[in-house]
Amino acid sequence: MRLLQVLADGLSNGSIYAMVALGFVLVYRSTKVLNFAHGELLMVGAYFALVALVDLDLPYLLAVPAAMVGAGLVAWALQRWVLRRLLDEDVFSVVLVTLGLSLILRSAVAFVFGVRERALPAPVDTYVDVGPVNVWSVHLLAIGATVLVFAAVGAFYRRSRYGLAMRAMASDQAVARLMGISAFAVFGLSWLMAGGLAALTGVLAGHTVFVSNNLGFVAIRALPAAVIGGLDSVRGALLGGLLLGVAEQLASFYVGGETRELAAFAALLLVLVVRPYGLFGTPEIKRV
């Protein structure tokens, strides 16, 4: 019984990690850049939602999409006016720029909102019995949102014109450009989608922890999930996130709470030794 509860908690945490990992994947597939500012976009989205829900008193179903649009536009603007200028630079330089952007965003949020932790109210706050397991409604919300997001992204990549263009760019940028696909448009759309997803993830994470300018560190904890699954794989992001969440909970249950992060990076090291490109990653992929 207790083990089932631990696994359920692991899946709920893993769903958050999976969506963070998907944000890394969306940008990396198209640009081959590991975006270290993704966590701060998550933080910005959470603050947008906090303002909409608490300060403006908007309904939840209006506040969350508004936060997603806001964070998506912030991500697009960063890509448009900063990272686009570095399109022909080496990947390492661009990664350093994303690190700088993460520091700027964190400092800007601290300047505007302060460093005080604030609670992000959830639409439903109760516990539900799912068979022998007692699950918090916020965790069910996170799991449900993860299922919908991955289904939507999968359908987008398979069936939409823009999704096919992004897949072509991920496969071979040079060939995609020769086919008339705009690299600028694909890069911009990738960042826009990643920013919107970051906001949704930030809202879900903000329901379980307080919102502050340190919320972006959730992305650092979730980064192993993206690497484990493969930095260019959508299904790898899902599997990597769930595996990471379950591994952390099992380590905490059997060994102790202080071993959660150790378990995450031990799993990362094991996968990198066996499959350096991740469980579902492309072998030819260049690593950062």
Strands (E), the chain: 127-130, 133-136
Residue 157 CB coordination number (10 Å): 17
Annotated domain spans of the chain: 2-120+137-274
133-187 pLDDT tens trace: 888 999 999 999 999 999 999 999 999 999 999 888 887 777 888 788 888 899 9
CB 195 within 8 A of CB 67: no
Q: Which residues fall within 8 angstroms of residue 54, CB to CB, at 6 or more apart? A: 118, 120, 121
Average pLDDT over residues 76-98: 87
Question: If phi over 0 gives left and psi between -120 and 50 gives alpha, with beta otherwise, what is residue 212?
Answer: beta
Fold classified for 2-120+137-274: ABC transporter involved in vitamin B12 uptake, BtuC (1.10.3470)
Residue 48 has pLDDT above 90, yes or no: yes
Residue 38 CB coordination number (10 Å): 31
Identify the residue with better confidence: 131 or 228.
228
Average pLDDT over residues 255-262: 76
* Dist CA 100 CA 186 (whole Å): 23
Nearest partner of 26 among 142, 186, 219, 141, judged by Cα: 186
* Dist CA 189 CA 180 (whole Å): 16
CB 122 within 8 A of CB 141: yes
209-258 pLDDT tens trace: 889 999 999 999 899 999 999 999 999 999 999 999 999 899 888 887 67
* Dist CA 259 CA 238 (whole Å): 23
At 287, is the pLDDT very low, low, confident or very high (cuts 50, 70, 90)? very low
Residue 286 has pLDDT above 70, yes or no: no
Nearest partner of 30 among 223, 192, 190, judged by Cα: 190
Structure tokens at 107: 């400092």
Identify the residue with better confidence: 149 or 125.
149
CA distances from 187 to 31, 101, 145, 174, 181 (A): 6, 17, 25, 14, 11
Average pLDDT over residues 82-109: 89
Average pLDDT over residues 34-46: 96
Q: Report the share of the chain in percent with pLDDT over 90.
A: 61
